[in-house]
Amino acid sequence: MSKKQIIIYGLLAAVFAILVYVQFRTWRNFDWATFWSQTDQVNKRHIFHAIGLIYLAYVVRAFRWKIFLRPVRPKASWWGLVAPTLIGFAGLAILGRPGELIRPYLIARKENLPFSSQLGVWAVERIFDIGAFTLLLMIAIFVAHSPRELEYYGRFRTAGLILLGIVIGMTAIAIAISRNGEALASWVERRFSHLAANLGKRIALRVREFHRGLNTIDSVFSFLQLVVVSVVMWCMIAVAYKEVTHSYGVEELEIPQTQVLLLMGSSMVGSMIQLPGVGGGSQLATIATLEHVFDVPHELAASCGIMLWLVSFVAVIPLGLLLAHRERLSFRKLAAESREQEQVSLPSSPPPAST
């Protein structure tokens, strides 16, 4: 692990420790016996349904990547992309951020494509994820009635409008890059080159990668396919969340499906603070939302928040490990190789000027 990574994880650990302290300081009378009792009494059938939906969402995600590959690998098998997808997300769950490039790296290697091209697809995929979830969230906030019953509905509405503005801005940038990618990359390279060594070249490289990723959307039909598949996938994830909350069989967690989307949003925001193997931010954000927005008791909120994290993020690890073992792959080696490939695609620093 590099010095930079040690510093980053040190800062994340400090922030995580502060969040844990603040959260549990308010739980002076936390009853661990109640926590374990409520966790033990969940309906296992609903939990397995939720895990099944999460796995199915990974399969749909692999199918979506096959659509991205259509212009360059029209005969690529979506089923052949399932294993790299599961291994990639297992690596992300185990290693945290260092493992996030495993999936595009494995797909690039499997399909014999440049790694930079799949980094572009990975970036475009994120826009479809954010856009699909935002669409569902907007329907929940502005069309459905149940979220209006919440005390913090006004804040959710404001947050939803901010998120919508961000998505519109990202879409505008994507359209601009799609139409004038090379010109924008050249402008960025000139504009930022004087601020730091190779900064302009690095940003320009990312713009070009993103431009190549957008070029994988070769028709209106492909775009509509990607939109529909993305929305369906996030609907599956939302139903999985609902299955977990419903598994406790208590009134406090009988949360309507449209309100579950608000809970998902808090989990996604919290996931930005993530430590390898243990997560952190996602669980705390979910627990805090359950407690303060949905008035769920401390112990029940903690149990449900952790269960949601296990189902939606950690459940992929067993099958991912099995597939990696079958293909004789090491997660740490894959993470290192993907980072090396990322660095190879970056411009090298210029040699110091001679005097």
Quote the pLDDT of residue 334: 94
Query: Phi/psi at 103 (nearest 5 deg)?
Result: -65, -55
Q: Work out the average pLDDT over 14-39.
A: 67
- In this prediction, residue 26 has a pLDDT band, given cuts at 50, 70 and 90, of low
Q: Is the pLDDT confidence value at 344 over 90?
A: no
Asked if the structure places residue 219 within a domain, the reply is yes
- In this prediction, residue 354 has a pLDDT band, given cuts at 50, 70 and 90, of very low
Asked if the structure places residue 17 within a domain, the reply is no
Q: Work out the average pLDDT over 205-232.
A: 90
pLDDT in tens, 52-78: 999 999 999 999 999 999 999 999 999
Minimum mean pLDDT among 19-28, 168-177, 238-247: which range? 19-28
- Which residue, among 123, 7, 94, 3, has the nearest Cα to 334 in the 3D structure? 94
Q: Work out the average pLDDT over 235-244.
A: 97
Query: Phi/psi at 271 (nearest 5 deg)?
Result: -65, -10
Quote the pLDDT of residue 249: 94
**329 vs 33 pLDDT, higher one:** 329
**203 vs 253 pLDDT, higher one:** 253
Asked if the structure places residue 288 within a domain, the reply is yes
Q: Work out the average pLDDT over 270-293.
A: 74
DSSP 52-79: HHHHHHHHHHHHHHHHHHTTT-TT--TG
- Which residue, among 338, 310, 280, 276, has the nearest Cα to 96 in the 3D structure? 276
Q: Work out the average pLDDT over 38-59.
A: 96
Rg (CA), the chain: 22
Query: Phi/psi at 280 (nearest 5 deg)?
Result: 130, -80
**15 vs 242 pLDDT, higher one:** 242
Quote the pLDDT of residue 284: 83
Asked if the structure places residue 261 within a domain, the reply is yes
Name the residue range of residue 225's domain: 41-343
Cα 91 to Cα 329: distance, rounded to the nearest angstrom: 11
Per-residue DSSP letter, 275: E
Count how many domains the chain has: 1
**258 vs 195 pLDDT, higher one:** 258
pLDDT in tens, 78-137: 999 999 999 999 999 998 888 999 999 999 999 999 998 898 899 899 999 999 999 999
Asked if the structure places residue 4 within a domain, the reply is no
Among left, alpha and beta (phi > 0; psi -120 to 50; other), residue 279 is left
Asked if the structure places residue 350 within a domain, the reply is no
Among left, alpha and beta (phi > 0; psi -120 to 50; other), residue 249 is left
DSSP 137-169: HHHHHHT-SGGGGSTTHHHHHHHHHHHHHHHHH
Asked if the structure places residue 64 within a domain, the reply is yes
Quote the pLDDT of residue 106: 97
Q: Is the pLDDT confidence value at 329 over 70?
A: yes
Asked if the structure places residue 34 within a domain, the reply is no
Report whether 263 contacts 152 (CB < 8 A): no
Quote the pLDDT of residue 285: 86
Report whether 99 contacts 87 (CB < 8 A): no
